[in-house]
Amino acid sequence: MLTKKEQRLRRARQTRVRIAQQGAVRLTVNRTNLHIYASVISADGSKVLASASTAEAEVRTQLGAAGKGGNAAAASIIGKRIAEKAKAAGVEKVAFDRSGFAYHGRVKALADAAREAGLQF
């Protein structure tokens, strides 16, 4: 029987295979209990074009108290931030890689904020 983490990694691997076949730039999301991380990775997977997380000093001051990086409000801030950085890097269209996490809560908040900021996926 697979553990919860192994199940998530299995789902992530399947998604990444489909994205690789498309040859698209991907927006990956990783979440922990305290933080959420987003990266825009090139189509061949060799370069990180842009990244944002709640662990960055600038974002932490915006969030206020310590431990506030693990909520939907923080995820929406990261979504807007990653969209701005991706546009600055010349990326308009991405494939959303949720890394096996359910499209719910913080992951959904990040995706919605990135779409509102102009990123297409």
What's the DSSP call for residue 60? H
What is the model's pTM?
0.92
**Are the C-beta atoms of residues 114 and 68 closer than 8 Å to each other?**
no
Q: What is the pLDDT of residue 96?
A: 97
Tell me: pLDDT of 68 over 90: no
Q: What is the pLDDT of residue 64?
A: 84
Residue with tokens 């192994």: 6
- Between residues 36 and 64, the one the model is more confident about: 36
d(CA 87, CA 6): 34
Tell me: pLDDT of 114 over 90: yes
Structure tokens at 102: 């359910």
Tell me: pLDDT of 65 over 80: no
Residue-wise pLDDT for 72-98, tens only, equals 999 999 999 999 999 999 999 999 999
* Strand pairing class (26-31; 48-53): unpaired
Q: What is the pLDDT of residue 88?
A: 97
Q: What is the pLDDT of residue 13?
A: 96
